[in-house]
Amino acid sequence: MDKKRSSSSSSSVVTWKPAAANANEQAPKKNLWTPEEDLILKKYVETHGEGNWATVSQRSGLMRSGKSCRLRWKNYLRPNIKRGHMSQEEQDLIIRMHKLLGNRWSLIAGRLPGRTDNEVKNYWNTHLNKMSCPAAPKRKTSHLNKIVTNKKKKNKISSSTITTTCTDRTDDDHDQIQKKDAIDFDHDHRQEPNGSNLTSSASCYYNDINDMVESPIFTSHHDCLQYLPTNLNATFLFDHDEPFIAADAASSSSYLDSFLFFEAFGSSAAATAADMESVLPLACADHHLGW
């Protein structure tokens, strides 16, 4: 069942309707972009380059906000954008990446050439999420999401620990959920549910109720082998946005993609240091890093 409709960039459909009742109003346009607007924006960016989006509307004559122009360019007009059917490989990758990273769509999209974060997000919400959470309601409760989202943003913790759970809940559950959130994600006070204080650590493993795994972060190869996965009793703290394992050998920063770890070991702690040794050079070689 493919309910795809024509994109607004298609010349066959012009569905834009003025947002303002008064045609003389200079308020930025909303709603779908017309092919004419796309052409103007594309030509403008090709001539002047990206950036300074706030001035694009004035200089190009588009009645759009800078944010809207930027979004349109980024998601639809820039070169090498891939549209349409997601391949099985792409679907699999999205699922695996989502399990690893949670709702960090820009990072997931970064691994899918030509795909945008918005497209990946939409695809997840409409196709993949219902596979993993078939009972999830169509629309999440805005109230709850805002509470959780704000908390997440404030504390810089992974959204995977919060937003990927099935949310087939009634309003009556919200109080309890909020209380749970207040305990489980009380990172303001760097406190775990059991009351013990979190301490800064070279590594982290963060398992949530959905068996999500946050990326371990290392500051050295030694740390990597020391803490993962042979020392999974260590204190774990996820306090970095960057989901990649950082390695700082020979004074040169390099990065090992934690996705490779996840692919190699999954979320289990069954791997040994020898396993790690075997995968690390390979992973580094794959990324032209080398320790």
Residues 30-49 that bind DNA (CB under 7 A): 30-33
Q: Is 154 in the site for DNA (CB under 7 A)?
A: yes
Nearer to DNA, 6 or 272 (CB): 6
Indicate the helix (H) or strand (E) that contains 254: strand 252-256
- Three-class SS of residue 251? coil
Residue 145 as a binder of DNA (CB under 7 A): the answer is yes
Stretch that binds DNA, among 154-162, 184-192, 206-214, 270-278 (CB under 7 A): 154-162
Please give the Cα distance from 77 to 38 (Å, whole number): 7
Residues within window 231-260 making contact with DNA, judged by CB under 7 A: none
Q: Do 216 and 205 form a contact (C-beta atoms < 8 A)? A: yes
290 φ/ψ angles, rounded to the nearest 5 degrees: 75, 130
Which C-beta is closer to DNA: that of 33 or that of 261?
A: 33
Of residues 244 and 265, the one with the C-beta less far from DNA: 244
Q: How far apart are CA 188 and CA 197, in angstroms?
A: 11
User: How far is Cα 49 from Cα 258, in angstroms, rounded to an integer?
Assistant: 34
What sections of 26-110 are H helices per DSSP?
35-48, 53-60, 66-72, 88-101, 105-109
Provide the 8-state DSSP code for 264: H
Q: Which is nearer to DNA, 6 or 196 (CB)?
A: 6
Q: Tokens 């399990």, residue?
A: 99
Could you say whether residue 163 binds DNA (CB under 7 A)?
yes
Q: What span, in angstroms and rounded, lies between the C-alpha atoms of 233 and 273?
A: 15
Using the minimum distance from each CB to DNA, give the nearer residue, 63 or 198.
63
Start-to-end CA distance of the chain, whole Å, equals 49
Site for DNA in 46-105 (CB under 7 A): 50-55, 64-68, 70-72, 74-76, 103-105
Stretch that binds DNA, among 126-134, 174-182, 256-264, 277-285 (CB under 7 A): 126-134
Minimum CB separation of residue 182 from DNA in Å reads 16
Selected from 42, 82, 96, 121, the binder of DNA by CB under 7 A is 121
Cβ atoms 112, 146 nearer than 8 A: no
Residue numbers at the binding site for DNA (CB under 7 A): 1, 3-8, 13, 15, 17, 28-33, 50-55, 64-68, 70-72, 74-76, 103-107, 117-119, 121-123, 125-127, 130, 138-142, 144-146, 149-150, 153-154, 156, 159, 163
